[in-house]
Every structure is written in structure tokens, then in C-alpha cells.
Amino acid sequence: MPKIFEYLGIIIMFYSNEHEPIHVHGKYQGYESKAEFIIEDGKIIDIKFKDVKGKRSLPHTQLKDFKKFVECFKQDIVQKWIDYFILHKSVPCIKIEGKVK
């Protein structure tokens, strides 16, 4: 279960047994949502934010922060997915201080 980012108390991570499409989970105090990346011809064309079955969705403020973070770091997240699931590299967790713009 690689934790790839920590942002404003939100843990952004993959589960070790993930599946496509490429996606990332945001967890905060027992709540969880996910972001799926829609990729065509090697380019991210959309990000779909979804609930996680059996989990309570992130509260409004944290969901808004999660969406903003994922949009700003989408390329990094996809690269970390490739590094971890395709290239079998370790992916360090990066703690982001302060709000992203």
C-alpha cells in the first residue's frame, strides 16, 4: 500500500493490488474517495472523482482539496503509478506543505 503524497492531512495512495484504469485514493480520518485518470494517446484527457465502495466519501472540504491536488499533480501521480506497478520501483512519499494553487 504505497503512500505517495500527504497533503493537508489527506493521504494520497495506491493499494498494492490495484487495477486499471490508473487511479489514486485519497484517505482522511476514515473517509475515502478516488480519482480515475482517463488517458488517450498517452495524454490525460479527464479525471473522474468517485466514491469508494463501502467507504464514506471525503468530506466536502477535503474532497475539494483532493481534487485540486490531483489536478495539480496528475502527471506526477501517473508517473508514480508507472514506476510502482509497471517498473516495480519504490515510490517515496512526499509531504506537501501548504495549499497548492
Give the predicted TM-score (pTM) of the model: 0.93
> What type of residue sits at position 3?
K
Q: How confident is the model at residue 17, as a pLDDT?
A: 80
Asked if pLDDT for residue 101 goes beyond 90, the answer is: no
pLDDT digits (tens, 9 = 90+) for 43-63: 999 999 999 999 999 999 999
81 backbone dihedrals φ, ψ, rounded to 5°: -60, -50
pLDDT band at 16 (very low <50, low <70, confident <90, very high): confident
pLDDT band at 19 (very low <50, low <70, confident <90, very high): confident
Task: State the average pLDDT over residues 10-18.
Answer: 90
Q: Is the pLDDT score of 28 beyond 90?
A: yes
Query: Can you give the pLDDT at residue 58?
Result: 98
Q: pLDDT of 61-96, one tens digit each?
A: 999 999 999 999 999 999 999 999 999 999 999 999
Sheet with 94-96, strands from edge to edge, namely: 43-51, 31-40, 23-28, 10-13, 3-7, 94-96
**3-state DSSP of the chain:** CCEEEEECCEEEECCCCCCCCCEEEEEECCEEEEEEEEEECCEEEEEEEEECCCCECCCHHHHHHHHHHHHHCHHHHHHHHHHHHHCCCCCCCEEECCCCC
Inter-helix orientation angle 74-81/60-72, to 10°: 80
